[in-house]
Amino acid sequence: MVVRDDYEQRSFLQAPRSTEAPFPPEQFQQGQPAAVGGPGGQVRYQEVNPALWTLGIGLNALSSFMCTLGLVIQKYSTFTSVERKKEVWGLGFSLFIAGQIFMPATLTMAPQSVLSALTPISLVSNSILSPIILGEAFTRYHLASILFIASGCLIVVLFGPNPEDFQMARMDLPRLTYLSSRPVFLVLVAASFLVVMSIAIPLTRWRASGQPLTALSLMVTPVQLMLLSQIGGAICVTNTKTISTLFKDSFLASPEAKDCPNCLGALMRWTFCSAPGITVILIAAFGIIGLSLFSVGLLNFCVLLFPSLTTVTYDVGFGLIMQLIYGAVYFEEYKNFNLRSGLASIVGICCSLLGIYSVWLHAKQEEMQMLWASKNALDKDMSASNLVDKGKGSRSNYGAITCSKKKMGSLSK
């Protein structure tokens, strides 16, 4: 990694130039992490490995593909025979879990602001796998979505941030405290709280009114629900990166983990007897598992109230934006963007959002087709009932006329 004294001048978002060199060259030449005095204690920077950076991007794309493939296979299991249904569903669930396992490792290899740009890969995978496995129609909207999203991801990966632009700080408890208490991050938390309140107020009114679930769709929008869901999802991803990096830098890099004959015992001691280990447990319990259940619950709630394909597009779009914002703000990754990488990231993300918009248009077209189909079916039912009513009316009129004629005949006699 080439270290230059004018590092701050290469970034248009960097803090004012300091008199202290951010990267002592002699330490990087020896392959040692650099220690820099700064807010929150002594910040230690380590060299970015380009091979691990590329591997993290590749594993992230593979993780998205495996998760999507698992979900599609699970849906396919509903069309199989009873004997094979459990086996096919189990295969899909295993692929989904395997894809999820890759994510914590990828977050330690590349910045979250870069990996978040690859979030729409799941839509590309679904657009390709669903017609092949489920036999769904492949429309021009799917083709446009694939082209836009693939172009956006390639622009971010090829022309966005690269390892030479980034300084990776080692994670420890003082660093964690500093990152969580910065004013810019607290402003982001306050803005997220406002979104929570925008949902909590109409939800409280709905519960107090005693109206059915469908009435809630008139009080909130899918944008509100999915934005809140993806804020929770972005916090989960940020916490996952935090504890993964803390585990890597505090335990795996320690001499005890490298040299001890009983690594399991060392892991248990670190997890339950050290401050970083206990911190990892608390963040995993409340900041990942709890928020994941909250985020998934809102997603399912939105699917019940609004069309599923519309919900999925909002889910992916807001997931891309919120993971990018939280990663860039919390880990101070915005400081590592220069003019070239910043513009490339903006262009790539806009292309991906156009691809997501193409899927949204497809969802709206399907909704209109369903509405027209239901309207035509309703019109046919109404016309059929009108014909029946007319037939009954004519028969009743004929009976009344016949009876009146008989009465007239009897009177004339």
More confident residue, 258 or 409: 258
Q: What is the pLDDT of residue 222?
A: 85
Q: Who contacts 148 (Cβ-Cβ below 8 Å, separation ≥6)?
A: 351, 352, 354, 355, 358
Q: 44 or 178: whose pLDDT is higher?
A: 178
Q: Is it the case that residue 409 has pLDDT exceeding 60? A: no
Per-residue pLDDT, 262? 63
Q: What is the pLDDT of residue 389?
A: 57
Which residue pairs from 32-38 have beta carbons closer than 8 angstroms and sit at least 24 positions apart in sequence? 33/170
- What DSSP line would sit under 201-212, residue for residue? HHHHHHHHHT--
Q: What is the pLDDT of residues 359-382, one digit of tens each?
A: 888 877 877 777 777 777 776 767
Averaged pLDDT for residues 157-166? 84
What pLDDT shows up at residue 252?
81
349 pLDDT above the threshold of 90: yes
Q: Which pTM value belongs to this model?
A: 0.75
Average pLDDT over residues 41-67: 83
pLDDT digits (tens, 9 = 90+) for 239-259: 999 999 999 888 887 766 666
Tell me which of 243-247, 311-315, 390-394 is least confident. 390-394
Alpha helices in 42-108, H assignment, sequence order: 50-76, 82-107
Residue 134 pLDDT grade (very low, low, confident, very high; cuts 50, 70, 90): confident
Please give the average per-residue pLDDT across 36-54, as a whole number.
Answer: 67
Nearest to 299 by CA among 308, 286, 290: 308
pLDDT of 73 higher than 80: yes
| Per-residue pLDDT tens over the stretch 99-119 | 888 888 888 888 888 899 898
Asked which of 76-80, 146-150, 267-271, 388-392 is least confident by mean pLDDT, the reply is: 388-392
pLDDT of residue 257: 64
- 21 pLDDT tier (thresholds 50, 70, 90): very low
**pLDDT tens for residues 168-213?**
788 889 999 999 999 999 999 999 999 888 888 888 888 888 888 7
Residue 265 has pLDDT above 70, yes or no: yes
pLDDT of residue 399: 52
What's phi and psi for 38, nearest 5 deg? -170, -175
Give domain limits for the chain: 50-108
Q: What percent of the chain has pLDDT over 70?
A: 79
Q: What share of the chain is helix, strand, coil (3-state, %, to 5)?
A: 80, 5, 15
The count of other CB atoms within 10 Å of the CB of residue 132 is 10
**Among 35, 34, 324, which residue's Cα sits nearest to residue 161?**
324
Q: What rounded mean pLDDT belongs to the chain? A: 79
